[in-house]
Amino acid sequence: TLEIIHHFVEVLDKYFGNVCELDLIFNFHKAYYILDEVLLGGELQESSKKVILKYIHTHESLAEESEASSMSAASAVVGAVAAVIGK
């Protein structure tokens, strides 16, 4: 059990770069996401820190791309509604 906690703290430390309490307070959602990548059903899911960090960075880049595309779609809808209202 202590080995799993130590592994989780090491992954947090690599992700945040010298993790501290404020990192966990202001980024608790990321800490929970990392915990989900480390553990599954109370058992160690992935033992490689590199693989865990790769999954997390891939997920973040996909989320940023999705957010950017949804913002552009929303601005297109607003523009279309403004054009209809203006006529």
Number of Cβ within 10 Å of residue 61's Cβ equals 10
- pLDDT score recorded for residue 44: 87
Ordered per-residue pLDDT tens for the chain, 87 residues:
799 999 999 999 999 999 999 999 999 999 999 999 899 888 888 889 999 999 999 988 888 888 888 777 667 667 766 777 765
pTM over 0.75, yes/no: no
CA atoms within 13 A on the CB side of 76: 6
- pLDDT score recorded for residue 69: 80
- pLDDT score recorded for residue 12: 95
- pLDDT score recorded for residue 8: 93
- Are 27 and 16 contacting, i.e. CB atoms less than 8 angstroms apart? yes
- pLDDT score recorded for residue 77: 66
- pLDDT score recorded for residue 76: 67
Coil/strand/helix, residue 66: helix
